[in-house]
Amino acid sequence: MSSPLTRAEVAHVAKLARLSLTEDELDLFTEQLGQVLEHASDMNSLDLTNVVATAHPFGLINVVRTDEVRPSLDRDEVLAMAPETQDGRFVVPRIMGEAP
Amino acid sequence: MKTAVQIARDVQNGESSAVDELNTSLAAVRARNDELHVFLYVDEEGAAAQAAKVDALVAKGENAGVLAGVPIAIKDNTCQRGIPTTCASKILEGWRPPYSATVIERLLAAGAVPVGKTNLDEFAMGSSTENSAFGPTRNPLDPSRVPGGSSGGSAAAVAADMTPISIGSDTGGSIRQPAALCGLVGVKPTYGLVSRYGLIAFASSLDQIGPFAKTVLDAATLLEVIAGHDRMDSTSLPEPSPSLVAHVNDGVAGKRVGVVRELIDGADEEVVDAVNRALDVLREAGATTVELSIPELRLGLSAYYLIAPAEASSNLARYDGVRYGLRVDAADVSAMNEATRTAGFGAEVKRRIMLGTYALSAGYYDAYYGQALKVRTQMIDAFSRAYHEVDFLVGATTPSVAFKFGEKTSNPMAMYLSDVFTIPTNLAGEAAISVPFGSGETGLPIGVQLLGPGRSEAQLFSAARVLEIADSRP
């Protein structure tokens, strides 16, 4: 039986998930993810046409609280755990490419 | 080794002290942690301070709490302020949370003494702790075998008498499976019973924190301490912590018990035998048993391995090298994200993130994730029909006793099958307990699983206690 997903699809999914894979990993993951999806095909044995999907075990009700000031996490303590900060902010590498 | 309940009583009575109990615990950790790799971090200083605080309360004649001076091990996906919390992942190595989980706050308030953080499969994804980025934990009962997972470190801490109780988390069996493999009581509480605030998310609609213990009474005592509404978790059930300890000795007289074919078939013969002996015990204690088939449960594994990865792919998107944890530098932010995640996540985490990303992606959403959500509905309905006929269900916790290292690592599907009997409870958001009952040919423990509807913990503890008494008879 052919794999339910192709090597190219795995490469695309890795890109979406911000992961880079070696050629060997691509082969391995294509095979392994294919096995899981193949196993999942047993769900097609059920007629689920009129079944409602459950995303959560107990229907979630939106939780609100009164809009009052209360202590939050200490900013310095939070920033102390970041890879790079400056003036109370997180620092990231450049987002835009070089100007043409 | 004393139970948690005995320690708390001795500390409160002044027959022992929290500091002495802590020293006993730390000595046990020092004796075997290098061999078994149970703790990723031991917080001697913090534990000593908490123990001293408990002893000071006792000295003043005050009530130091139901877990006064009880050493406890915490799974390392649970945040404790200022204490390294890694999820056994390189991507969080060195991170110290700026806040504590609600569970930690409640433990401290009850006088418990957190000793340190225990090993797990990276981000709780696995069934053996072999997916820890920092090396596996060994089963204290047979170090050539796995302790189960993902909460393998928390199970091993109790099995090795390092602490009498510990905290784990169960997304698809991660408390019950290691409990079975290490000969412990392990509880997956009803979804929402225990606050998830400060539990690092894997699959938010399935994750639940719960206890490990050597006795049913200790497990009930610990769950009572950590359960109850928390405004910091929007999925927390609205009511206060239920009364559990008071019901431990209620027995099972008059109870109707469902014996579920799908939660037994496929298990090793010695496991099936143990379940059958457990049923004899329940009948002798006055319960009636009825054979049931719930075919929908067979699809649990498939639905779970789409739903959990889908949620994980979203939850783990936050590890981008910006706010905490690892950063691998690169020329621009996108390359930095990718380099960080590629270096920081292990193979199993990558597999699940990709599986989830795929299941949620355009063109496949309905075929995989959508279908899995419908199976989840069917499973909830099927359980609900069963609970119209019976009070609780009985099955195996795991297909086999503890397996050897490397036995299932090359084939993810084989590893996933270790959770085949535990997964349905998580999908349904219900409650289940694994209780040790007998042992196999190798002398390794076997777990029997008791499953009930949401909020049925009290009756599950009653049944577990009946099995515990029978199991301790010579």
Is this complex's ipTM strictly greater than 0.90?
A: yes
Average pLDDT over chain B reads 97
In-domain check, residue B96: yes
- The reported pLDDT for the residue numbered A3 is 64
* Interval B408-420 mean pLDDT: 91
Whether residue B375 is predicted with pLDDT greater than 60 in this model: the reply is: yes
In-domain check, residue B10: yes
The b/e string for A5-41 (b: 16+ C-beta within 10 A; e otherwise) is: beeebbebbbeebbbebeeebeebbbebbbbbbbbbe
Q: Are B380 and B428 in contact (CB under 8 A)?
A: yes
In-domain check, residue B456: no
Q: Identify the CATH number of the domain in which residue B25 sits.
A: 3.90.1300.10
- The reported pLDDT for the residue numbered A99 is 66
pLDDT digits (tens, 9 = 90+) for B68-88: 999 999 999 999 999 999 999
CA distance B325 to B321: 6
Residue range of the domain that includes B235: 4-243
Closest among B135, B117, B127, B132 to B170, alpha carbons compared: B127
CA pseudo-torsion sign B102, B107, B110, B116: negative
CA distance B235 to B209: 13
Q: Which residue among B89, B100, B154, B174 is the active-site one? A: B174
Into how many domains does chain B fold?
1
Q: Which of A43, A56, A74 sits opposite B372 (nearest CB)?
A: A43
Indicate if B302 belongs to the active site: no
In-domain check, residue B79: yes
Closest among B470, B438, B399, B452 to B187, alpha carbons compared: B452
Cβ-proximal residues to B353 (8 Å cutoff; 6+ apart), any chain:
A17, A19, B309, B312, B313, B316, B345
Residues of A in contact with B383 (CB under 8 A): none
- The reported pLDDT for the residue numbered A51 is 92
Q: Three-state SS across B197-258?
A: CCECCCCCCCCCEEEEECCHHHHHHHHHHHECCCCCCCCCCCCCCCCCHHHCCCCCCCCEEE
In-domain check, residue B445: no
Beta strands B431-439 and B445-452, pairing class: antiparallel
Residues of A in contact with B357 (CB under 8 A): 13, 16-17
pLDDT digits (tens, 9 = 90+) for B100-138: 999 999 999 999 999 999 999 999 999 999 999 999 999
- The reported pLDDT for the residue numbered B473 is 79
* Interval B314-321 mean pLDDT: 97
Cβ-proximal residues to A34 (8 Å cutoff; 6+ apart), any chain:
A3, A4, A5
Q: What is the DSSP letter of B402?
A: P
- The reported pLDDT for the residue numbered A60 is 67
- The reported pLDDT for the residue numbered B474 is 64
Specify the pTM. Answer: 0.97
Closest among B157, B40, B57 to B108, alpha carbons compared: B57
**Residue A79 Cα distances to A73, B164, B190, B323, B325, angstroms:** 10, 36, 35, 7, 11
Chain A 21-80, residues with CB within 8 Å of chain B CB atoms: 21, 25, 29, 32-33, 35-37, 39-46, 48, 51-58, 60, 63, 65, 73-74, 77-78
Q: Is the peptide bond before B313 cis (omega within 30 degrees of 0)?
A: no
* Interval B298-320 mean pLDDT: 97
Cβ-proximal residues to B163 (8 Å cutoff; 6+ apart), any chain:
B25, B70, B71, B72, B73, B115, B157
In-domain check, residue B324: no
Closest residue of chain B to A16, computed from CA coordinates: B357
- The reported pLDDT for the residue numbered A1 is 42
B318: left (phi over 0), alpha (psi -120 to 50) or beta: alpha
Helix axes B44-59, B18-36, angle to 10 degrees: 160
- Mind listing the domains of chain A with CATH numbers? 7-45 (1.10.20)
* Interval B402-416 mean pLDDT: 93
pLDDT digits (tens, 9 = 90+) for B174-206: 999 999 999 999 999 999 999 999 999 999 999
In-domain check, residue B22: yes
CA distance B446 to B400: 8
In-domain check, residue B197: yes
* Interval B54-60 mean pLDDT: 98
- The reported pLDDT for the residue numbered B195 is 98
Beta strands B39-42 and B288-292, pairing class: unpaired
Closest among B250, B189, B251, B256 to B225, alpha carbons compared: B189
- The reported pLDDT for the residue numbered B372 is 95
Q: pLDDT below 50 — which residues of chain A?
A: 1
Q: What percent of chain B has pLDDT over 70?
A: 100
* Interval B433-453 mean pLDDT: 97
